[in-house]
A and B are shown apart, each in its own frame.
Chain A
Amino acid sequence: MDILGLFNYWVFAILLMIGFYAVLAKKNLIKKLIGLALFQSAVFLLYITVGKVKGGTAPIFSATAEGDVFSNPLPQVLILTAIVVGISVTALGLGIVVRIREEYGSIEEDEILEMDRQ
């Protein structure tokens, strides 16, 4: 069994499920946003792990590293854009949470649903 070769994927699965559990089962809205950020980080870890070549270096040409093996630059470009999208979503989500607090007075999900039903 090739455990060392698969360890990164298992860590990705565990982190994914931890973030997913936080989004589903926690009632506090800020805890849900933190779970979403963990979920996104796990997906980034998966993409960068897939793009690595054994014995390679970072994909930057320099005068000394001529015949080296380079890691794949394509997943890194995707993840760069994805990180920026992630913080934009987090910032917007936090703005909405602050406004909900001002209007409803609490940020627990069940209390807000109670107030909505009345």
Chain B
Amino acid sequence: MFVVFTAGIGVLFLLGHGRVRGTLEEETRTNEGLRHYLIPRVVGQLLIPFIILFGLYVQFHGEYGPGGGFQAGAIIAAGLILYALLEGEKHALNVVPQKVLLGMMAGGAILYTTVGIFGMLLGGNFLDYSVLSDNTVKGQQMGIILIEAGVGITVTGTLLAIFHAFAARDN
């Protein structure tokens, strides 16, 4: 999980937050997205809520079936990338700003580390979930739910930040 975080930081170092835009004509051309094409817009508006809903389903049912943090992060990031491709880069950055993306990247990693250190403070080893609650099994389950949530948030934020770093670059 920290691998994805490191890769996101690396790409943001290499490509920056996006350069200064060119003339006004260039800006409108690249910010339109696929607005003029009706079919992708309509299909996208129908599909994107379902994609995000499916991503949340996969995240929370990670214990009962296939799923978990990584998969959910990738699916939600794919839905938001579809929105950015259809509506144009500027609107997508209004919906989820750069600061929120950086907050998501760091917040998931902080949640993961906090759960680990919390276990250490209560007397076990690092990332030992048995001491989180009085019943050992319940402690393990609570620990796993929190960890998967942290992983999902980090992966979503990182993949979206990498995409915006590529797409906001002027040629």
Direct touch of chains A and B (CB < 8 A): yes
Q: Does A80 contact B (CB under 8 A)?
A: yes
**B1, B3, B64, B169 interface centre (most CB from chain A within 10 Å):** B3
What string of 1s and 0s marks CB contacts (under 8 Å) between B55-76 and chain A? Answer: 0000000001110101000000
Residue of A nearest to B7 (CB): A88
Residue of A nearest to B63 (CB): A60
Q: List A residues 59-110 near B (Cβ within 8 Å).
A: 60, 80, 83-85, 87-89, 91-92, 94-96, 98-99
B7 touching A89, Cβ below 8 Å: yes
**When A80-B70, A98-B169 are in contact, do A88 and B6 touch as well, CB less than 8 Å?**
yes
Residues of A within 8 A of B144 (CB): none
Contact of A98 among B3, B4, B166 (CB under 8 A): B166
A99 touching B14, Cβ below 8 Å: yes
B15 touching A84, Cβ below 8 Å: no
The total of Cβ contacts below 8 Å across the A-B interface reads 41
B15 touching A91, Cβ below 8 Å: no
What string of 1s and 0s marks CB contacts (under 8 Å) between B8-27 and chain A? Answer: 00110011000000000000
Chain A interfacial residues counted at CB < 8 A:
16
Roughly how many angstroms separate A29 CA and B14 CA in the complex, as a whole number? 17
**When A80-B70, A84-B70 are in contact, do A95 and B4 touch as well, CB less than 8 Å?**
no
Residues of A within 8 A of B155 (CB): 84
A95 touching B14, Cβ below 8 Å: yes
What string of 1s and 0s marks CB contacts (under 8 Å) between B138-159 and chain A? Answer: 0000000000000000010000
B14 touching A96, Cβ below 8 Å: yes
Chain B interfacial residues counted at CB < 8 A:
19
Residues of A within 8 A of B15 (CB): 95, 98-99
Q: Does B162 contact A (CB under 8 A)?
A: yes
Roughly how many angstroms separate A10 CA and B11 CA in the complex, as a whole number? 37
Distance from A44 Cβ to chain B, minimum over Cβ atoms (Å): 14
Residue of B nearest to A81 (CB): B3
A91 touching B11, Cβ below 8 Å: yes
Q: 25 A–B contact pairs at CB < 8 A?
A: A58-B66, A60-B64, A60-B65, A60-B66, A80-B68, A84-B1, A84-B3, A84-B4, A84-B155, A87-B4, A88-B3, A88-B6, A88-B7, A91-B11, A91-B162, A92-B10, A95-B11, A95-B14, A95-B15, A95-B166, A98-B15, A98-B166, A98-B169, A99-B14, A99-B15
